[in-house]
Chains A and B, each alone.
Chain A
């Protein structure tokens, strides 16, 4: 299967986000793939927007089934969430559960004015009423397939497909 170029998708994402920017817009990437994508989008948008990252491990709904996911890193929100227009960025949108957890976490920092969701890949398969506002590419994947973004040693985004 031919996978799209993740760097190109990140650039398209930034382009599509440009008209949505407001005076109070901040970017928040979800650890770890989404945080890398958010960094790229941030650069493409001129590098001036406030940028944060979230790890929603402590808000996941599968703790009682599989225990604690080791957090990929601490959440880092270096700005006021209260009243902010937040563009939440993730690498892959699938069931929607990660986004649900991330939104719950954001609310523990304050009440945002609005949250929009931008994802590099939408692979369908939603289990919650969650939709992305901006999408890099849509992919049809089988249930046993897993796709994620990684960062190469020279800091390039790449998409990886695994069979489970």
Chain B
């Protein structure tokens, strides 16, 4: 077996590229550390001196507001110096290769790269290339993984539901194109959730998804029955036409989360969404703004999770 490139010889986190292959113990230790950072975020001074003097580069080759901003806030609360690079608008458009960009930023003294890229495997590629003292966080690569989103979702579930081993969780929507779904499913099964369901039309499910240890439902009513957690996925605009779906209205009718459908879940079920939401496509406003929604707490916890990940990597 090839060693996990994310871990040091002593099993510490060196890069965070995917949740796949991380132990339940390591995931829980990230969540525990994040718990301490939540209390930092509630103070008058929301900053700790941990990463003073470290340089972090937000390397976003793909548009993002929430993820980039929460990484930026997290780095600033850790006292690191963070530089945002919107790479699509800079060197790459002049023809510089990805690794040349990384080498140049390394020459400027980078300690960590936070990478978002449309190509699956981009963060792995950079992690294999950089010097040993440089750390890489995958902030979303193609259809592959979005590990900090998966972790903040687990943090949110743990805060509201405590024990993973008693839960029934449904992941609803475009699983096929979703790196978030993949990270969520790996995290849920690793943490011992006994029943993970995916609910989606056949056209939006990858082949062989059952191999990930999930139960597949095409009927949303049946899939939501008695679940504790509903994790909605964003239906990307570019999928709304073409061969995948007839129309957004049609999709909402069958797979949109409405108050009526939510009644089939447990009465205390929570509703999650990674954002940005398409109201009236995958989720109805009455649910998105309802009292079972924990969508905004997810954003707040995202900062704590990213602080935990960055400080654990920088110390490894």
Contact = CB atoms under 8 A, between A and B. Distances in A.
Interface of A: 55, 57-59, 63, 66-68, 70-71, 73-77, 104-105, 107-110
Given A74-B39, A76-B39, A109-B43, A58 B312 contact: no
27 contacts: A58-B37, A58-B48, A58-B50, A59-B50, A67-B312, A67-B314, A67-B315, A67-B316, A68-B33, A68-B50, A68-B314, A68-B315, A70-B29, A71-B32, A71-B33, A71-B35, A71-B36, A74-B35, A74-B36, A74-B39, A75-B40, A76-B39, A104-B49, A108-B43, A108-B44, A108-B48, A110-B44
A63 B50 contact: yes
Nearest to A75: B39
A74 B38 contact: yes
B250 interface: no
Contacts of A59: 48-50
B47 interface: yes
B13 to A, nearest CB: 10
Contacts of A58: 36-37, 40, 48-50, 311
Nearest to B39: A74
Contacts of A77: 43
A74 B43 CA distance: 12
Per DSSP, chain B at the interface is helix
B32 A70 contact: yes
B315 A66 contact: yes
B48 A67 contact: no
Interface string B11-39: 01000000000000000010011011111
B45 interface: yes
Nearest to A82: B44
Given A59-B48, A63-B50, A73-B35, 7 more contacts: A55-B36, A58-B50, A67-B312, A68-B50, A107-B45, A109-B43, A109-B44
A66 B311 CA distance: 12
Contacts of B37: 58
Contacts of A57: 36
Contacts of B44: 108-110
Nearest to B47: A108
Contacts of A108: 43-45, 47-48
A109 B47 CA distance: 10
Contacts of A71: 32-33, 35-36
A63 B32 contact: no
Contacts of A75: 36, 39-40
B36 A67 contact: no
A76 B36 CA distance: 9
Nearest to A61: B49
A45 to B, nearest CB: 25
A67 B49 CA distance: 13
Contacts of B315: 63, 66-68
B36 A68 contact: no
A57 B35 CA distance: 13
A69 to B, nearest CB: 9
B45 A70 contact: no
A163 B194 CA distance: 43
A110 B37 CA distance: 18
A88 B315 CA distance: 28
Interface string B266-305: 0000000000000000000000000000000000000000
Contacts of A74: 35-36, 38-39
